[in-house]
Every structure is written in structure tokens, then in C-alpha cells.
Amino acid sequence: MKIEILGTGCPKCKKLYELAQEAIAESGVAAELSKVEKIQDIMKYNVMLTPALVVDGQVKCAGKIPSKDEIKKWINKQS
């Protein structure tokens, strides 16, 4: 599973990255987590707001920090 955090590096983006790391660890799923920080790369996902979280190419949320439980649900649904 591929999880991407879209954001140019602000505190909210960093917070979402940390939450995703924790959610992956606690769920015990095999996932590759990465950051997408360049605006041009972020725009390829059609998001108008950051931070955003993408699971296997599907944008799950944008413009807000979801709860860890929400992230876990998205991860578990995909695995």
C-alpha cells in the first residue's frame, strides 16, 4: 500500500505525516509512506487544499487533519 502526504512543509503537513506514521505502526499494515512537497506535484492530485492524505492514489482528505482513527479506517479498508 502506498500512502502519500501532500503539503509544502507547514506544521499541519508535518503533523499529518506523524499521525499517518503512528496509524500505520498501530495497524500493523505494510505501507510505504512518503511526502509530496512540490506544488506542481501536489496539483497532479487535483487538490485545492493541503495538507492532504492519499491512499493508493485516492485522495481521502484535503485541507484538514483527520483523526488517527479515520486514517486507520482508510488504511484497513485498502489492505
Answer whether 14's CB lies under 8 Å from 50's CB: no
Chain residues that interact with another protein, rule: CB under 8 A: 7-13, 39, 42-43, 45-52, 58-64
Min. distance of Cβ 26 from another protein in angstroms? 23
CA distance 42 to 56: 15
Q: Which of the residues 2, 8, 10, 64 is marked catalytic? A: 10
Which of residues 11 and 25 has its CB atom nearest to another protein in the complex? Answer: 11
Cβ neighbourhood burial of 25 (10 Å; 0-12, 13-18, 19+)? exposed
Question: In one letter, which amino acid is 63?
Answer: G
Nearer to another protein (CB atom), residue 25 or residue 76 = 76
**Which residues are designated catalytic?**
10, 13
